[in-house]
A and B are shown apart, each in its own frame.
Chain A
Amino acid sequence: MKEQKEQLVVSAIKDGTVIDHIPARLLFNVIDILGLAKIENQITFGTNLESKKLNKKAIIKVSEVFFRKDDLDRIALVAPQVKINIIKDYEVVEKKVVDVPDRIEGIAKCVNPMCITNNQNVQTKFEVISKEPVSLKCQYCEKITDSNNIVILSHK
């Protein structure tokens, strides 16, 4: 019954990208990271759907958009467990997982309140010094932002 409901709420797309297994509380972070607020394509999403693995999950379906791998990888910063399905003519033609990239520009906020990036209009830049759990070293103030205090910046 619930499965059916899910299928009703988030209907299938003909061509495009499905981002599945998003922890429900991170749905809007993922929307921000991918800049979905800015695109004109048809987007459907569902949230607080039941999931055995995640308890409550969200799913996003974006019609006729095929993201670049490094754009998708940025999701891994907050939700490394997401699954990407590429859809062509209603069929899943490719499944992808996301990997934390080696460098991050923008997306995350530096944890240091005295960092230049938190005080002037300067984009954050980090070297990823650990991927599991995620740990970021600010290119500017050299301070470490770890997975417990990553704050995602909204897409401008």
Chain B
Amino acid sequence: MVGKSLISINDYSKENYMRILELAAEFEKNPKQNLLQGYVIATLFFEPSTRTRLSFESAINRLGGRVIGFAEAGITSATKGESLRDTIKTVSNYCDLIVMRHPLEGSARFASEVSGVPVINAGDGANQHPTQTLLDLYSINKTQGKLDDLNIFLVGDLKYGRTVHSLLMAMSKFKTTFNFISPDELKLPDEYKFYLDNLGLKYYEHKDFTEIISRADIIYMTRVQKERFSDPIEYEKVKNAYVLKNRMLENTKETMKILHPLPRVNEISEDVDENMKAYYFTQTLNGVYTRMAIITSILGLK
């Protein structure tokens, strides 16, 4: 992993995942280490993402590193028509590592080809966001004590949800049973089901999850967006089926945890927040440790 860019979750093997999880656990125990002293890391956010950017910058700052960069493209030479190629070639002379978010899909892979320093993809359009997936894995492993033999419920927009697809690919390296809960319009694309079929992994599809919720080890919630529906009446009919409420959690496993990539709109009622099973805010803290692990392993410091 040393010196290598992290662009897609498929760039890492199962062993790589486990190494990152191990390092993240070390950082959780001891988050104040001066490992990045003397390092400059660029955070180039061509599209705003406050949570992801602050999570990276918090990870870098806590380890004593310096950050340069921008939070939106409006203040950069990209608005003067500079190509991504030129921006990356220039910035890679100023820093030891680039963290990049860009609205165009494939931009991060391209940046890694022209950059003189490694690139971490912090989201390229609807394509990949591998550090989110690794922090999801860390959260699952930490709360369940294992990654094998879990029953993972993926709920909401399974058609367009980038985080869901990446998490599925990552968890398919373990002995996972999947339950997909979504309206018809937002069902998981067939290519992912073929992929699981080929691996011999079990999965079930449902339109509603109240009946089966007691089996879940992890419920991974995503937002069902109105814009995704061609028929607004259809949206009105189904929208409440994908909102998690506290009373629905009564018969769930003691150890079950609810994850969400955030931001949440209304798909998890606020009355769930106080439940011990709500894990989405701790999940964001795990993101800082996971990013510490990724950065230091790529820079060869761990």
A→B interface (CB under 8 Å): 110, 112, 114-117, 119-122, 138-144
B127 within 8 A of A: yes
Given contacts A114-B104, A120-B104, 4 further A-B contacts (CB under 8 A): A138-B106, A139-B109, A140-B109, A141-B124
**Residues in A neighbouring B127, C-beta threshold 8 A:** 141-142
**Residues in B neighbouring A139, C-beta threshold 8 A:** 106, 109
Q: Tell which of A114, A122, A144 touches B110, judged by Cβ atoms closer than 8 Å.
A: A122
Whether A141 contacts B105 by the Cβ 8 Å rule is yes
8 Å CB contacts to A: which residues of B76-110?
A: 83-85, 103-107, 109-110
**Residues in A neighbouring B126, C-beta threshold 8 A:** 114
- Say how far A77's CB is from chain B's closest CB, in angstroms: 20
**Residues in B neighbouring A142, C-beta threshold 8 A:** 8, 105-106, 127-128
Whether B106 contacts A116 by the Cβ 8 Å rule is yes
Q: Chain A contact residues: over half helix, strand or loop, or mixed? A: loop
B161 within 8 A of A: no
Whether A143 contacts B84 by the Cβ 8 Å rule is no
B125 within 8 A of A: yes
* A141-B124 Cα distance, complex, nearest whole Å: 8
Whether B109 contacts A120 by the Cβ 8 Å rule is no
* A129-B295 Cα distance, complex, nearest whole Å: 32
18 contacts between A and B (CB under 8 A): A114-B104, A114-B126, A115-B104, A117-B106, A119-B104, A120-B83, A120-B84, A120-B110, A121-B83, A139-B109, A140-B106, A140-B107, A140-B110, A141-B105, A141-B125, A141-B127, A142-B105, A143-B105
* A142-B124 Cα distance, complex, nearest whole Å: 11
* A122-B124 Cα distance, complex, nearest whole Å: 16
Contact with A along B103-139 (1 / 0, CB 8 A): 1111101100000000000001111100000000000
- CB nearest to A117 among chain B residues: B106
**Residues in B neighbouring A141, C-beta threshold 8 A:** 105-106, 124-125, 127
**Residues in B neighbouring A115, C-beta threshold 8 A:** 104-106
* A110-B109 Cα distance, complex, nearest whole Å: 15
Whether A116 contacts B8 by the Cβ 8 Å rule is no
Whether B83 contacts A116 by the Cβ 8 Å rule is no
* A14-B125 Cα distance, complex, nearest whole Å: 54
Whether B128 contacts A116 by the Cβ 8 Å rule is no
Query: Which has the most chain A C-beta neighbours within 10 Å: B85, B110, B125?
Result: B110
Query: Which has the most chain B C-beta neighbours within 10 Å: A117, A120, A143, A144?
Result: A120
**Residues in A neighbouring B106, C-beta threshold 8 A:** 110, 112, 115-117, 122, 138-142
- Say how far B8's CB is from chain A's closest CB, in angstroms: 7
- CB nearest to A140 among chain B residues: B106
**Residues in B neighbouring A112, C-beta threshold 8 A:** 105-106
Instruction: Known A122-B110, A142-B8; judge A114-B105 contact (CB<8 A).
Output: yes
**Residues in B neighbouring A144, C-beta threshold 8 A:** 191
* A54-B16 Cα distance, complex, nearest whole Å: 52
- Say how far B272's CB is from chain A's closest CB, in angstroms: 34
- Say how far A126's CB is from chain B's closest CB, in angstroms: 11
* A121-B124 Cα distance, complex, nearest whole Å: 17
* A115-B126 Cα distance, complex, nearest whole Å: 10
8 Å CB contacts to A: which residues of B122-168?
A: 124-128
- CB nearest to A113 among chain B residues: B105
* A142-B104 Cα distance, complex, nearest whole Å: 12
The 9 closest A-B pairs by CB, nearest first: A140-B106, A141-B105, A141-B106, A116-B106, A116-B104, A116-B107, A114-B105, A140-B109, A116-B110
**Residues in B neighbouring A140, C-beta threshold 8 A:** 105-107, 109-110
**Residues in B neighbouring A119, C-beta threshold 8 A:** 104
**Residues in B neighbouring A117, C-beta threshold 8 A:** 106
- CB nearest to A138 among chain B residues: B106
**Residues in A neighbouring B191, C-beta threshold 8 A:** 144
